[in-house]
Structure formats: C-alpha cells, structure tokens
C-alpha cells in the first residue's frame, strides 16, 4: 500500500483535533497547525490520493505552465480547460509577476537542469518562486514556493517548502505536481527519482471545508495501492514534455469531494 493517504490523513486529523482557529485575509476563518511534513521514496510509490479522485491532467498542466512554459498567462490554461487561476486573473489576462513569470525572469529551470547535468553535487540547486522585488506585482504570493534538489547515488531528491497550505484542495495538488516535476527532471538528466519531502509551514482547513474533510476522514483505512507513474521515455528535453506524456497505471480511487476554493 502507498503511504500518501496515511500521512495526509494524519495531518487532517491533527488539524481537526488540535488545530488553532485563526483569522486571515480571506475573511473565512481557518483551523491550522504549524510545521507538518510528509516524505516518500519516489522509486517505491507515486504520491497521489486514492481516498478521493485527483485530476492528473489538471495538476500536470498547471505545473508545466509554470516550469515548462514559464508563463503567467491565465488564458493559456483556459484554452486547455484549466480554470485554477481564473479567480486571480488580472485585467491583462495574467497573474502578474508571479509563478512562471519569476521562473522565466531568472531562467531558473534551465539553470537547474544545466547544474544537474554538469555539477550534480552542487548544494545550491533550487527553484525559488518567492522573489521579494516582484511579490507586490503578482496576484498572489506563491504558496508552494521553494523546491530544493539533491543528487545522492544517482537519485534525484526534492524537498518542497510551502509557506501556506490549503490542506483539502491545494496541498494534494502540490504534492503530486512536484513529484511529477522530480520524475521529469530525473528523466532528462539521466538520474532516478529519489526521496520527495513536502514541508508545510501553515497547514490549514477553511471552516467552509470542514464537512468535506469529515467525509474524507471517514474513508481512512479504505485507501487503494499507490498507482505507478509512467513518463513517455522518448522525451529527453524538459521543454518537450506534455501532460499526455504522464500516465498513471492502476489508479484506483474513491469519488471526488466537492469543496469551496477560498480566494
């Protein structure tokens, strides 16, 4: 059995049982806990929830929009029927100086791939979306903002740091997205996927999501085996990856759970 559902639902239980009620900028209170983490061996399992259905295409398209396209143009996602960023779209159709814009501004993904190929023991390999000079120009400061990479014994390890984690909706997307990114980077640099660790500073559930999370918790212990992630082996250059190059084998899951996105 995979461990993602187990680790994830333990965090949900911790928030529901021990969480602190907090106000925030949205006007919808949260129940939160600080400093939670999950960790997985990507050679052993692909971390995706089976206790509810996850949209593999949607989360892959968003990740590629940020790192392959290095884009802030929300209309590019809308053309693919991906509406994750609609609520934050500015009048010019973008999210301003955020996410993919920052990746492109500092040529981050190309520099990372070059370093992985030429100096894999470098201790400065990271993608950092939280660039202070540009925070005010973006629609939303990045939540999952820092991914740091390490190569040990031919395995590519990734640590994702998230300043703010919407546990019901955002975090499951982010975990699977950055795991896919790690698989992709490993493939194009001749490495194997290694350990993936996800650290969340402020892990919270909005009050309008509590009923949905009670339903989710009722499925504890009924998870399915972790599916296997398969990438198109013909892709040798990161910029050539498409969402259709990512396939899950034997993905069994419970139904999706409808919950509100708090803006």
CB-CB neighbours of 122 under 10 Å: 14
Q: Which residue has the tokens 């993905």?
A: 251
How far, in whole angstroms, is CA 246 from its chain's centroid? Answer: 15
Transcribe 160-190 into DSSP letters. Answer: EEEEEEETTTHHHHHHHHHHHHHHHHHHHTT
In terms of CATH architecture, what is 4-249?
Answer: 2-Layer Sandwich (3.30)
218, 198, 141, 55: CA torsion to nearest 10: -50
Distance CA 52, CA 48 (A): 9
Catalytically active residues are 143
Kindly report, residue by residue over 175-213, the tens digit of the pLDDT.
999 999 999 999 999 999 999 999 999 999 999 999 999
pLDDT at 1: 59
Residues of the chain with pLDDT under 50: none
Transcribe 32-50 into DSSP letters. Answer: EEEEEEEEEETTT-----S
pLDDT at 2: 77
Kindly report, residue by residue over 149-184, the tens digit of the pLDDT.
999 999 999 999 999 999 999 999 999 999 999 999
Q: Tell me, yes or no, if the pTM score tops 0.95.
A: yes
The answer to whether 206 and 30 are in contact (CB under 8 A) is: yes
Distance CA 182, CA 229 (A): 12
Task: Show Cβ contacts of residue 24 under 8 Å, excluding neighbours closer than 6 positions.
Answer: 30
pLDDT at 260: 80
First-to-last alpha carbon distance for the chain, in angstroms, is 35
222, 224, 225, 227: CA torsion to nearest 10: -150
């Amino acid at each position: 059995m995979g461990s993602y559902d187990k680790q994830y639902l333990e965090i949900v239980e911790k928030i529901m049982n021990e969480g602190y009620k907090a106000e925030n900028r949205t006007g919808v209170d949260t129940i939160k806990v600080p400093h939670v983490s999950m960790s997985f061996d990507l050679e052993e399992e692909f971390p995706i929830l089976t206790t509810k259905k996850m949209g593999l295409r949607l989360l892959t398209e968003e990740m590629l929009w940020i790192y392959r396209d290095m884009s802030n143009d929300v209309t590019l996602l809308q053309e693919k029927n991906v509406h994750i960023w609609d609520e934050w779209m500015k009048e010019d159709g973008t999210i301003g100086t955020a996410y993919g814009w920052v990746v492109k501004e500092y040529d981050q993904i190309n520099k990372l791939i070059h370093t992985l190929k030429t100096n894999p023991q470098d201790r400065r390999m990271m993608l950092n979306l939280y660039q202070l000079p540009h925070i005010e120009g973006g629609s939303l400061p990045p939540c999952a903002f820092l991914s740091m990479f390490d190569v040990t014994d031919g395995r590519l390890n990734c640590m994702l740091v998230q300043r703010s984690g919407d546990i019901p909706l955002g975090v499951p997307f982010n975990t699977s997205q950055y795991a896919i990114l790690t698989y992709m980077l490993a493939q194009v640099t001749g490495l194997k996927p290694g350990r993936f660790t996800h650290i969340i500073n402020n892990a919270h559930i909005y009050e309008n999501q509590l009923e949905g999370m009670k339903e989710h918790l009722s499925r504890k212990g009924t998870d399915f085996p972790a599916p296997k992630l398969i990438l198109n082996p013909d892709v040798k250059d990161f910029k050539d990856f498409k969402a259709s190059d990512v396939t899950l084998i034997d993905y069994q899951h419970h139904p999706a759970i409808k919950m509100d996105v708090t803006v």
